[in-house]
Amino acid sequence: MQAFQVDERLDRDSQLLLDLALCQVRLMNDARWPWLILVPRRPAVCELFDLSAEDQQLAAAEANRVAALLKGLTGADKINVAAIGNIVRQLHIHVVARSEGDPNWPRPVWGFGTAEPYGAPERDAFITRIRKAFSR
Amino acid sequence: MQAFQVDERLDRDSQLLLDLALCQVRLMNDARWPWLILVPRRPAVCELFDLSAEDQQLAAAEANRVAALLKGLTGADKINVAAIGNIVRQLHIHVVARSEGDPNWPRPVWGFGTAEPYGAPERDAFITRIRKAFSR
């Protein structure tokens, strides 16, 4: 049986924050917008509907929990949730906090410009806030 | 209590195909890509996590069913599923069939160019195929 391993590009572009029951929660290294990614720890899964029925429900519950938490943390105007995967085929779910006036508002973040890496203090402070919110 | 009513812009840009237990399934009038939209028939809901826990599970199950069906109908390379809503705030879930070489591959469809309306025969044929797939 194939083991789960996070895709190389996801691994390079984002950092593991914590594990939920099904998904890794990762922070995209792009300070332009608060952007988390959920990666179900299942091998060889490309589409949401490739997951088992039980995992589909778990993925939705976890994505919605992360979205609500990110909304609470950021006070964003809108949370964007998406499973796209045209480039990186391993199933991953984007959860992005969007606000009026952000760099590509109201257009999507995907395929827009280039990532602006966090400074270490800013990143660490954000990660601490996220982890604290999850531990509540 | 407020009644559900589909947002004006969604109503203008898409056509109701059928009702699932929770969601309207609508066809976007854009022949560039097979593009369905699910609209939960709940008033005043903006984010997936604003739905009740039960409706969240139903929305995920219906979106995944529609995605699998669209993949089967189109043979697309990738299905894109997203709840964005930066412009139209009424909760709606995009389910888009993407193929290598389509007009904005591998970038997202949202915010790209302008819709190309279907010709009536092409649209009607596609609607018939979709309805048939759902009735199976």
**DSSP assignment string, chain A:** -PPP---HHHHHHEEEEEE-SSEEEEEES-TTS-EEEEEES-TT--SGGGS-HHHHHHHHHHHHHHHHHHHHHH--SEEEEEE--SSS-S--EEEEEE-TTSTTTTS-STTSS---PPPHHHHHHHHHHHHHHHH-
What is the residue-level pLDDT of chain B in tens, covering all 136 positions? 689 999 999 999 999 999 999 999 999 999 999 999 999 999 999 999 999 999 999 999 999 999 999 999 999 999 999 999 999 999 999 999 999 999 999 999 999 999 999 999 999 999 999 999 999 8
Which among B53, B86, B108 has CB closest to A111? B108
Query: Which residue numbers in chain A have pLDDT < 50?
Result: none
- A120-136 pLDDT tens trace: 999 999 999 999 999 98
What domains sit in chain B, N to C, each tagged with a CATH number?
8-135 (3.30.428.10)
Q: Collect all residues of chain B within an 8 Å Cβ-Cβ radius of residue A105.
A: 86
Instruction: Tell which residue, B38, B95, B100, B47, has the closest CA to residue B71.
Output: B95
Torsion of CA B58, B92, B33, A62, to 10 degrees: -50
Is the ipTM, as predicted for this complex, more than 0.90?
yes
Least CB–CB distance from B85: residue in A57, A78, A89: A78
Please judge whether A108 and B64 are an interchain contact, meaning their C-beta atoms are less than 8 angstroms apart.
Answer: no
